[in-house]
Amino acid sequence: MTKIIGLTGGIGSGKTTVANEFASHGIPIYITDLEAKKLMQSDVVLKKIREAFDDSVFENDVLNREKLSEIVFNNPESLKILNSIVHPAVKEHFQNWLAKHSKEQFIIYESAILFESGSYKDCDFIINVIAPLEIRIQRVILRDKTTREKVLDRMKNQWNDEEKSSKSDFIIDNTSMKALKLGIVKILNFLRIKQMNS
Q: Known binder of ligand: residue 15?
A: yes
Domain end (from 100, 120, 145) = 100
- Residues 42-81 have pLDDT tens digits of 999 999 999 999 888 999 889 998 899 889 877 889 989 9
**Would the CA dihedral through 21, 38, 12, 4 be positive or negative?**
negative
Residue 74: what pLDDT? 79
Residue 164: what pLDDT? 96
Residue 73: what pLDDT? 79
**Which residue ranges of the chain lie beneath pLDDT 50?**
none
Q: Known binder of ligand: residue 147?
A: no
Residue 9: what pLDDT? 96
Q: How far is residue 161's CA from residue 156's CA, in Å, rounded to a whole number?
A: 12
Q: Known binder of ligand: residue 8?
A: no
**Would the CA dihedral through 140, 143, 146, 150 be positive or negative?**
negative
Residue 133: what pLDDT? 94
User: Would residue 33 count as lying in a domain?
Assistant: no
Domain limits for position 66: 44-100
111 and 96 inside one domain:
no
111 and 177 inside one domain:
yes
81 and 111 inside one domain:
no
Residue 157: what pLDDT? 78
1 and 95 inside one domain:
no
User: Would residue 37 count as lying in a domain?
Assistant: no
User: Would residue 95 count as lying in a domain?
Assistant: yes
Q: How many domains does the chain have?
A: 2
Q: Known binder of ligand: residue 17?
A: yes
Q: Known binder of ligand: residue 183?
A: no
15 and 113 inside one domain:
yes
128 and 195 inside one domain:
yes
**Residue 22 maps to which CATH number?**
3.40.50.300
Residue 116: what pLDDT? 87
150 and 74 inside one domain:
no
Neighbours of 195 (CB within 10 A): 12
Pure H helices in 101-176? 133-144, 148-156, 161-166
